[in-house]
Amino acid sequence: MSFITTSDKTRIFYKDWGDKNAQPVIFSHGWPLSSDAWDGQMLYLLQQGYRVIAHDRRGHGRSDQPAFGNDMDTYADDLAAVINELDIQNAVLIGHSTGGGEVVHYIGRHGTGRVAKVVLIGAVPPIMISTEQWPEGTDISVFDGIRKGVFDNRSDFYLNLAIPFFGMNREGVEINEGLRLSFWNQGMAGSIVGQYACIREFSEVDYTEDLRKITVPALVIHGDDDQIVPISHSGLLSADIIPDAELKIYPGASHGLAATHQHQLNSDLLAFIQS
């Protein structure tokens, strides 16, 4: 397995597939998952001739599990460490959910010098909780409930969270045990310390100014039945804040649309990358 070591001696696991001379597409995953959440997109774009790269966020997946650095500034710097170590240029950055926050905060801290395009999928920016600027967000009590679920019994919590994550609680949608167990497996591979700390980073961090710094072409994709990151306080706002962003709304799609709408998403990603 491949790792880079950050300045604070944390090992970050990453996948790097494809021709090193091909255009790189870099993926940042959601909480509490790992780079495995992108399997369907990475394999597809690899088959189209792209170099595909994804890392496990610290405290998640196969990366180290330190009790420090579990904050968005460090997550963004870890992404920068991967990009710099591999000397990536002209990259397409793709972030889902918390990974969307990671991608835009990377740009906020490190700029767009190595970035060609950005895609946000079901992403948390600008901010999930209600603020004076963005007053119609999710109440903080919801995230306190997530903290309690992770602390008390994260194994059971993740099994249950997978159901609304993939929209399996909607009428006519069957329980997909494979997706549910994949979600659980990825979640349980990570550290309770890092995952617990990360709840604040996806819910209470304001990414508004990071979004305004995106000066490259940007695509925002969001399901209008996302029960985890409601579109009205995330995707719709981000598409307005990012200069000249393109917005694609997937009718009826859940938060886990990378799996439930894999073929549609793959097609849209390829079209955007090639545009």
Cα(222)–Cα(238) distance, rounded to whole angstroms? 11
Q: How far are the Cα atoms of 204, 224, 227 from residue 248, in angstroms, in the given order?
A: 25, 10, 17
Q: Which of 28, 34, 35, 97 is catalytic?
A: 97
Task: With residue 119 as reference, give the H or E element that holds it.
Answer: strand 115-121
Beta-sheet strand order (sheet of 246-250): 2-5, 11-17, 51-55, 24-28, 91-96, 115-121, 218-223, 246-250
For 86, list phi and psi in degrees, rounded to 5. -90, 0
- 3-class DSSP assignment, residue 46: helix
Q: Which of 56, 210, 226, 268 is catalytic?
A: 226
Instruction: Let me know if 226 is a catalytic residue.
Output: yes
- CA 158, 143, 33 angle in degrees (round to 5)? 35
Instruction: Let me know if 60 is a catalytic residue.
Output: no
Cα(171)–Cα(161) distance, rounded to whole angstroms? 17
Q: Which of 56, 255, 261, 268 is catalytic?
A: 255
Of 266, 247, 267, 248, whose CA–CA distance to 258 is shortest?
Answer: 266
- The angle that helices 192-203 and 98-110 make with each other, rounded to 10 degrees, is 70
Q: Taking the CA of residue 61 as centre, how many other CA atoms within 13 Å lie in the half-sphere pointing to its CB? A: 26
Cα(156)–Cα(184) distance, rounded to whole angstroms? 9
- 3-class DSSP assignment, residue 67: coil
Show which residues are catalytic.
97, 226, 255
